[in-house]
Chain A
Amino acid sequence: DAGITQSPRHKVTETGTPVTLRCHQTENHRYMYWYRQDPGHGLRLIHYSYGVKDTDKGEVSDGYSVSRSKTEDFLLTLESATSSQTSVYFCAISDGDTSYTEAFFGQGTRLTVV
């Protein structure tokens, strides 16, 4: 998986608690992304980063925040988890500034909010 590590791989949490997912890369790629994958919706972009401390919202950013203090780490935080945030979360990385640069995905984190 192209030097991408997501942690934790599985997590069960209670409604209303904060949760942080971590994505760590060893490829020194500039761009990092968080997607969620749900049946019937496919992969949807939550937030992305185009450099240290540079982040922006994706398609489904409500209820999520991100931070990138180092090139290699991109954190996704659910401020107050809800059952609708039960999903599989994928981190992705890419490099280069063209529209056809390959994006590599991490192994995924399965999050269950009860």
Chain B
Amino acid sequence: QKEVEQNSGPLSVPEGAIASLNCTYSDRGSQSFFWYRQYSGKSPELIMFIYSNGDKEDGRFTAQLNKASQYVSLLIRDSQPSDSATYLCAVNKDTGFQKLVFGTGTRLLVSP
């Protein structure tokens, strides 16, 4: 079992729809959770992080964390073609700095 699991996709949604990206993790001691976006041939860039159970909203993005179920998700509202990218879920098991464990990513395709 991988430490961080994501469906590879592609997840296809029409423009304006809500895209829901999911991630599960195996280590109950994980401290914080990150969503990175990576365009093809580019480096990952942070969208948002969450470390408390519940929802965290930032513009069109909402991260949801359920530690009991070891589940974290990212919702993208009003999806745009420019959101088409691979979304990487990452988990930090450390209480200190950034020793991140990444999932393999979910490819999102937003069609006009």
Residues of B in contact, count (CB < 8 Å): 26
Separation of A44 and B49 alpha carbons in the complex (Å): 19
Separation of A35 and B105 alpha carbons in the complex (Å): 15
Which residue numbers of A lie inside 8 Å of B, CB to CB?
Answer: 1, 30-31, 33, 35, 40-45, 48, 50, 58-59, 90, 92, 94, 96-108
Separation of A94 and B51 alpha carbons in the complex (Å): 18
Interface contact B43-A99, CB-CB below 8 Å = no
Known: A45-B100, A94-B97. A99 touches B105 (CB 8 A): no
Q: What are 24 residue pairs bridging A and B, where the CB atoms are less than 8 Å apart in the complex?
A: A30-B97, A35-B102, A40-B104, A42-B102, A43-B44, A43-B88, A50-B97, A90-B44, A92-B98, A94-B98, A98-B97, A99-B31, A99-B32, A99-B92, A99-B95, A100-B32, A100-B92, A101-B98, A102-B46, A103-B46, A103-B98, A107-B42, A108-B42, A108-B43
Interface contact A33-B44, CB-CB below 8 Å = no
Chain B nearest Cβ from A96, distance in angstroms: 7
B94 within 8 A of A: yes
| B46 contact set on A, CB distance < 8 A | 102-104
Interface contact B100-A101, CB-CB below 8 Å = no
Separation of A16 and B97 alpha carbons in the complex (Å): 34
Separation of A68 and B98 alpha carbons in the complex (Å): 18
Chain A nearest Cβ from B78, distance in angstroms: 25
Known: A106-B43, A107-B43. A42 touches B103 (CB 8 A): yes
Other A-B pairs, 17, CB within 8 Å; known A48-B99, A98-B96, A100-B32:
A1-B43, A31-B98, A33-B98, A40-B104, A42-B105, A43-B88, A43-B102, A45-B100, A99-B31, A99-B97, A99-B98, A100-B49, A100-B51, A102-B46, A105-B44, A106-B43, A108-B42
Q: How many A-B residue pairs have CB under 8 A?
A: 68
Chain B nearest Cβ from A90, distance in angstroms: 6
